[in-house]
Amino acid sequence: MQQLNDFFQSLHSILGGHQWFVFFLVGTGLFFTLYLKFPQLRYFKHAIKIVSGKFDKKEDEGDTSHFQALTTALSGTVGTGNIAGVAFAIFMGGPAALFWMLVTAFFGMTTKFVEVTLSHKYRDFDEKGMVAGGPMYYMKKRLNINLKSGKIIKTGKWLGIFFAAATILSSFGSGSMPQINSITNSVLATFGIDRIITGAVLAVLLGFVIIGGIKRIAKVTERLVPGMALVYLIGAFAVIITNYQNIIPSFGAIFSNIFTGQAAIGGFLGASFAFMFNQGVNRGLFSNEAGQGSAPIAHSAARAHEPVSEGMVAILEPFIDTIIICTITGLVLLSSGVWNEKFDNQFQKTDMIVFADPYNGEVKEDQKAILNHLLNESFLPVFTGDLKVIDGEIQNELTIIHARSIAENIKVYLNGELYSGAVNVADGRIADGENNVSFQGESLIHSAPLTAKAFTRSFFGEWGKYIVSIGLLLFAFSTAISWSYYGDRSVTFLFGAKYVVYYRLLYVVGFFFAGFTDTTIIWNLSLLTVVFMAIPNLLGILLLRKEVRSTIRNYWVTFKKENPDVKIPEKV
């Protein structure tokens, strides 16, 4: 497991974790924002009118309404990225990482507009008469033609195949595995229910929903999304109001270090600007999926006679998902003060590093040395040998890092009892043969458990963690539902609709087993699958930039003819 996790981390450092991907992602959104003259601002009101059904026509073809397509796409994005992802971004990069999440969302509103417009324009219908759409279809139909010479080539076909294959992989890495893992961990911590039981029950429910295809999925999500958002926001505002004196300082923390990096505070060892920026952008993408190409698959199913109109609906997604919900989650974490506090918890071994020498968390030089090691900028000597343990106490003079913080008050257990004996460590990592030994102590925590802690800092008290558990269950479960549709449309593209049933079965099985798999490995896998989808999609929409602009212009010409009395935000 450790070797697999290290491989995922190494590959991610070359792809999504590298600065080139961050600039490619944000740069694409920035380019289209300027190229199309800030459509996320100019078309925002018009998008709301479209979602309300004001301009619908009876003859529009598709499987869902505009609102159902929006809620289906939102259910695919509003999930662990909003509850666990924001907490993970702040845990890794500090408060200013949230600022870069918001920047990613602002430019992502334009990216979503473009990718959905193209995907809806080139959507298809499968042999069962259901809509089949997404970036793989515009790649296959449009990018097979050399845009300069007009010569037929096969580049787009293979690009579409790669994207569809990446989407199937991502449906497990983004849509299924981290969702159920966050649910089972949260339910175990809050209610004490075994992760296998939670995974089994939800896997059965998931199977009942997704077997009905997009129409049943849309009916579930259009009711589930508004309700779950309301429950979550009530709990979040309870924390913010209770800690009202920290609201302004929280905004100060978000905006004060956006270009400098975060200094060490409390148990937080600090973060460089590059690392903070990278974490904010990557978590922003994981939250709203702008540029990834997933949401266009849901929007392609919408009933609309003009693809641009559905593209405008997509503008609302990053705004709701990241700018509103993630900002509120960030304020909860910062105003409650939990983000840099150490809590008693059971350590995940993949999150542990054993250094050969003792270090003091109160000494700036030691803090900086450890941080540089974590950032791979310089390295400290790590421990190899046996930890000597007596009655749960480690006797060696050394330092254990867990969750990017110096662990304190560590106890070692074997089958629930305080352990005495030796624990083998190789190159700073607990050896694979020590799986029965567990470590517990005080350290930073991250993801959903951190958000759950924050929700207890309100007038709801300990009841607040139940709001997070219920909210996470609903958010993450709805995400898994939507991603099953993204995967089955990709299976349809690659193999045909008759093979979708096998995919759905595999999806449900994978969903179940991920409920009791190491969280760190799942998060690292999900980051990779996001990149595998985003790269071909971003390349595709950039190649078709001129077509996007002409399609928008034609939309407004037609719209003006059909609605002469309606004021439009575009010069025709």
Note whether residue 520 is domain-resident: yes
Please state the pTM of the whole predicted model.
Answer: 0.83
| Residue 299, CA distances (Å) to 114, 247, 316 in order | 12, 36, 12
User: Average per-residue pLDDT in the chain?
Assistant: 86
Note whether residue 549 is domain-resident: yes
Note whether residue 471 is domain-resident: yes
Contact 8, 524 (CB under 8 A): yes
Report the pLDDT value the prediction gives residue 571, as an integer from 0 to 100: 64
Task: Using the predicted structure, report yes or no on whether residue 520 has a pLDDT greater than 70.
Answer: no
Question: Is there a single domain that holds both residue 405 and residue 523?
Answer: no
Encode pLDDT of 533-568 as tens digits: 888 999 999 999 999 999 999 999 998 888 888 888
Q: Which of these three, 383, 410, 443, is where a domain ends?
A: 443
383: left (phi over 0), alpha (psi -120 to 50) or beta: beta
Higher per-residue confidence, 464 vs 173? 464
Indicate the SS3 state at residue 140.
helix
Report the pLDDT value the prediction gives residue 2, as an integer from 0 to 100: 65
Note whether residue 570 is domain-resident: no
In which band, very low, low, confident or very high, does the pLDDT at 150 lie, cut at 50, 70 and 90?
A: low
Task: Using the predicted structure, report yes or no on whether residue 184 has a pLDDT greater than 70.
Answer: yes
Backbone angles phi, psi at 409, to 5 degrees: 50, 50
Question: Is there a single domain that holds both residue 518 and residue 379?
Answer: no
CA-to-CA distance for 347 and 303, rounded, in angstroms?
49
Task: Using the predicted structure, report yes or no on whether residue 572 has a pLDDT greater than 60.
Answer: no
487 closest CA partner among 121, 169, 92, 60: 169
Report the pLDDT value the prediction gives residue 17, as an integer from 0 to 100: 60
Burial bucket for residue 14 (CB in 10 Å: 0-12, 13-18, 19+): exposed
| Residue 467, CA distances (Å) to 188, 191, 464 in order | 14, 12, 5
Between 86-95, 276-285, 451-460, the lowest mean confidence (pLDDT) is in 276-285
Question: Is there a single domain that holds both residue 517 and residue 534?
Answer: yes
Contacts with 540 (C-beta within 8 Å, 6 or more apart), sequence order: 118, 135, 138, 139, 143, 156, 159
Task: Using the predicted structure, report yes or no on whether residue 383 has a pLDDT greater than 80.
Answer: yes
Higher per-residue confidence, 480 vs 107? 107
Q: Which string of b and e fits 205-240 if b means at least 16 CB within 10 Å?
A: ebbebbeebbeebbbbbbebbeebbeebbebbebbb
Note whether residue 50 is domain-resident: yes
Encode pLDDT of 47-59 as tens digits: 999 888 887 777 7
Encode pLDDT of 207-237 as tens digits: 888 887 777 887 887 787 788 788 888 999 9
Q: What percentage of the chain carries pLDDT values higher than 90?
A: 43
Burial bucket for residue 329 (CB in 10 Å: 0-12, 13-18, 19+): buried
351 closest CA partner among 400, 278, 424, 286: 400
Q: Tokens 């083998």 identify what position? A: 424
Report the pLDDT value the prediction gives residue 186, as an integer from 0 to 100: 74
Question: Is there a single domain that holds both residue 425 and residue 463?
Answer: no
Task: Using the predicted structure, report yes or no on whether residue 116 has a pLDDT greater than 70.
Answer: yes
Note whether residue 185 is domain-resident: yes
In which band, very low, low, confident or very high, does the pLDDT at 529 lie, cut at 50, 70 and 90?
A: confident
Note whether residue 524 is domain-resident: yes
Q: Which of these three, 443, 474, 502, is where a domain ends?
A: 443
Question: Is there a single domain that holds both residue 313 and residue 353?
Answer: no
**Mean pLDDT, rounded, for 9-15:** 71
CA-to-CA distance for 420 and 107, rounded, in angstroms?
55
Higher per-residue confidence, 283 vs 210? 210
Question: Is there a single domain that holds both residue 196 and residue 334?
Answer: yes
Q: What percentage of the chain carries pLDDT values higher than 70?
A: 93
Report the pLDDT value the prediction gives residue 113, as an integer from 0 to 100: 95
In which band, very low, low, confident or very high, does the pLDDT at 469 lie, cut at 50, 70 and 90?
A: confident
Report the pLDDT value the prediction gives residue 225, as an integer from 0 to 100: 75
Report the pLDDT value the prediction gives residue 70, as an integer from 0 to 100: 81
Contact 217, 72 (CB under 8 A): yes
Return the structure tokens found at 362. Answer: 């109160």
Question: Is there a single domain that holds both residue 7 and residue 98?
Answer: yes
Task: Using the predicted structure, report yes or no on whether residue 109 has a pLDDT greater than 90.
Answer: yes
In which band, very low, low, confident or very high, does the pLDDT at 152 lie, cut at 50, 70 and 90?
A: low
Question: Is there a single domain that holds both residue 417 and residue 518?
Answer: no
Encode pLDDT of 327-363 as tens digits: 999 999 999 999 999 999 999 888 899 999 999 988 9
Report the pLDDT value the prediction gives residue 148, as an integer from 0 to 100: 58
Question: Is there a single domain that holds both residue 192 and residue 307?
Answer: yes
Indicate the SS3 state at residue 51.
helix
Backbone angles phi, psi at 238, to 5 degrees: -60, -40
Range of the domain at 422: 347-443
* Count of the separate structural domains present in the chain: 2
Question: Is there a single domain that holds both residue 91 and residue 147?
Answer: yes
Question: Is there a single domain that holds both residue 140 and residue 63?
Answer: yes
Question: Is there a single domain that holds both residue 351 and residue 337?
Answer: no
Report the pLDDT value the prediction gives residue 244, as an integer from 0 to 100: 94
| Residue 322, CA distances (Å) to 74, 241, 281, 319, 453 in order | 11, 21, 12, 6, 21
Task: Using the predicted structure, report yes or no on whether residue 266 has a pLDDT greater than 60.
Answer: yes
Report the pLDDT value the prediction gives residue 295, as an integer from 0 to 100: 86
In which band, very low, low, confident or very high, does the pLDDT at 72 lie, cut at 50, 70 and 90?
A: confident
How many helices and strands (H and E) does the chain possess?
A: 24, 13
Report the pLDDT value the prediction gives residue 312, as an integer from 0 to 100: 93
Q: Chain centroid to CA 130: how far?
A: 28
Report the pLDDT value the prediction gives residue 156, as an integer from 0 to 100: 80
Report the pLDDT value the prediction gives residue 151, as an integer from 0 to 100: 59
Report the pLDDT value the prediction gives residue 18, as an integer from 0 to 100: 66
Query: What CATH number does the domain containing 139 carry?
Result: 1.20.1740
Encode pLDDT of 427-450 as tens digits: 999 987 787 899 999 999 988 789
Q: Which of these three, 443, 471, 493, is where a domain ends?
A: 443
Task: Using the predicted structure, report yes or no on whether residue 147 has a pLDDT greater than 60.
Answer: no
Report the pLDDT value the prediction gives residue 236, as an integer from 0 to 100: 93
